Amino acid sequence: TANHSLLTDLMRHYEKPDEHPMPGEIISELCPFLDATGISDARSKVYVTARPIPELCFILVANTLGQVDKVEFNPNLSCLVSRKDVCFDAAAFATGMITVLKQFHSDVTGLFFGHLTQYVRAGICDYDHVDPKVREQQVLPARMIQLTAMVEMLGDMGNSDLSDLGRWIPPQLLGDMTQTRSAVVSSPTSKKRDRK
């Protein structure tokens, strides 16, 4: 009942902050206990409140695009793994990125996913202009496959469901990328390329 009453007081405060004050010092006293028991979720916690930073979205998108070449999709593990010459953890990167995005308004997250997926769509549309020999070896551009897997991981870390990702990546493309990813990586031409 204490949990229910505290949540009720918090909801009343957020609905009408002028009429209902914040429920005292209990929040600051309760947080260390929740952290110690592992009940709190670090990815959904807001650590700071900041004014909107218009350039933040572009900085995060550029950072993500810079990191995507450090990973490759492994069909056996069905996840992104670090390339052999680089030490990079895609899951830790995604967790950090989502934690930063949670500190700002949800519009920033929407813009972030919108720009990344626009990059994926543009890269796939531009793939028609690539040398035909390259297209014989790869059904889809490897960078776009890696970036789509990164977007899916970021969406998963941010507790977005697939319908949210369907807003940013067309559902047909998202489904095709998920199914095609393992076909591209396990195709005979990619196996020949891996042996070289």
In this structure, are residues 88 and 67 in contact, taking their beta carbons and an 8 Å threshold? Answer: yes
Predicted confidence (pLDDT) per residue in 105-148, tens digit: 878 888 898 899 888 888 877 877 777 777 677 777 788 888 88
CA dihedral 75, 145, 194, 68 (to 10 degrees): -110
Q: Is the pLDDT of residue 99 over 80?
A: yes
What is the C-alpha separation between 46 and 29, in angstroms, rounded? 17
Average pLDDT value for the chain = 75
Least confident of 27-36, 82-91, 99-108, 119-128: 27-36
pLDDT band for position 152 (50/70/90)?
confident
Q: What is the pLDDT of residue 189?
A: 45
Residue 181 confidence class, pLDDT cut points 50, 70, 90: very low
